């Protein structure tokens, strides 16, 4: 099962924008304190830098096996934004493997980024391709728990339940979302400009089997 290129493009655009904002904020922020600090308020000019995403659960060799191509190391900018993103070694090969593990602590760090993204939307028209992402970012900026986050991310027209990954697994907007225990997993494998659900399920199972949570 594959998502239409248009839907995948919207997801890529939203994710890429969030990563860019996260990286910019992290670059402006002071070094993290030894002990965890409270989540900064959305109106803060600066936010506490979050630890980069741990991509060891699925390394380059795993990503290459899933994608069918040799891949580059996990993108540094994506890691700064809390996700792992593997792109093919060759520009001629189209595809990507990406995933993020969202916990309650990570969600608190993400809220300011969603707020900044929403502010960048400005006066986006309802007919704009970015309108859906902007509307979602407004909701995500106010989210307080993982169940609410999961409901927002999967509350889109193309959402469909995915069997075999528990009671809370949904494919939506070119991403597979799995809510389990103390985490929410976002996983996506894309090839030839489209979301590949079968490969994304394999990615999700691999991460869940290796995750301590």
CA atoms of 56 and 53, how far apart (whole Å): 9
- Judge contact between 124 and 134, C-beta under 8 A: yes
pTM, two decimals, is 0.77
Query: What's the pLDDT score for residue 213?
Result: 62
pLDDT for 89 beyond 50:
yes
pLDDT of 161-180, one tens digit each? 999 999 899 999 999 999 99
As beta bridge partners, residue 78 has: none
pLDDT of 120-174, one tens digit each? 988 889 889 889 889 999 999 999 999 999 999 999 999 999 999 998 999 999 9
pLDDT of 22-68, one tens digit each? 444 444 443 333 333 333 333 433 344 567 888 999 999 999 999 99
How do 175-180 and 169-172 pair as beta strands? antiparallel
Of 42-46, 84-88, 91-95, 151-155, the range with the lowest mean pLDDT is 42-46
Query: What's the pLDDT score for residue 145?
Result: 94
Show Cβ contacts of residue 70 under 8 Å, excluding neighbours closer than 6 positions: 64, 88, 89, 90
**Tokens coding 81:** 């934004």
As beta bridge partners, residue 102 has: 184
Query: What's the pLDDT score for residue 40?
Result: 38
As beta bridge partners, residue 194 has: 191
Nearest alpha carbon to residue 116 among 130, 134, 104, 129: 134
**Tokens coding 71:** 């891949």
Query: What's the pLDDT score for residue 51?
Result: 75
* Percent of the chain topping pLDDT 70: 76
Query: What's the pLDDT score for residue 113?
Result: 87
Q: What are phi and psi of 97, to 5 degrees?
A: -120, 125
Burial zone of 22 (CB within 10 Å; 0-12 exposed, 13-18 middle, 19+ buried): buried
pLDDT of 193-212, one tens digit each? 899 999 999 999 999 999 87
Show Cβ contacts of residue 4 under 8 Å, excluding neighbours closer than 6 positions: 194
CA atoms of 55 and 78, how far apart (whole Å): 10
pLDDT for 71 beyond 70:
yes
Residue 71 per-residue DSSP state: B
Query: What's the pLDDT score for residue 3?
Result: 46
Query: Where are the chain's structural domains?
Result: 2-29+47-210
- Judge contact between 124 and 133, C-beta under 8 A: no
Query: What's the pLDDT score for residue 37?
Result: 33
CA atoms of 104 and 39, how far apart (whole Å): 11
Query: What's the pLDDT score for residue 129?
Result: 87
Residue 155 per-residue DSSP state: -
CA atoms of 142 and 149, how far apart (whole Å): 9
């Amino acid at each position: 099962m594959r998502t239409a290129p248009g839907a995948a493009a919207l997801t890529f655009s939203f994710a890429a924008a969030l990563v860019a904002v996260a990286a910019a904020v992290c670059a402006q922020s002071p070094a993290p304190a030894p002990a965890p600090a409270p989540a900064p308020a959305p109106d803060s000019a600066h936010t506490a830098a979050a630890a980069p995403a741990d991509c060891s659960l699925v390394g380059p060799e795993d990503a290459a096996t899933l994608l069918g191509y040799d891949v580059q190391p996990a993108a540094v900018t994506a890691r700064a934004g809390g996700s792992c993103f593997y792109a093919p070694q060759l520009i001629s090969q189209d595809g990507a493997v990406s995933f993020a593990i969202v916990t309650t602590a990570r969600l608190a760090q993400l809220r300011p980024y969603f707020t900044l993204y929403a502010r960048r939307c400005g006066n986006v028209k309802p007919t704009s391709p970015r309108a859906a992402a902007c509307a979602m970012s407004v909701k995500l900026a106010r989210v307080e728990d993982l169940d609410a986050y999961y409901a927002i991310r999967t509350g889109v027209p193309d959402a469909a339940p995915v069997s075999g990954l528990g009671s809370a697994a949904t494919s939506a907007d070119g991403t597979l979302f799995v809510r389990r225990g103390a985490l929410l997993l976002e996983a996506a494998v894309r090839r030839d400009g489209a979301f590949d659900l079968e490969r994304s399920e394999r990615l999700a199972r691999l991460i869940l089997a290796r995750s301590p949570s």
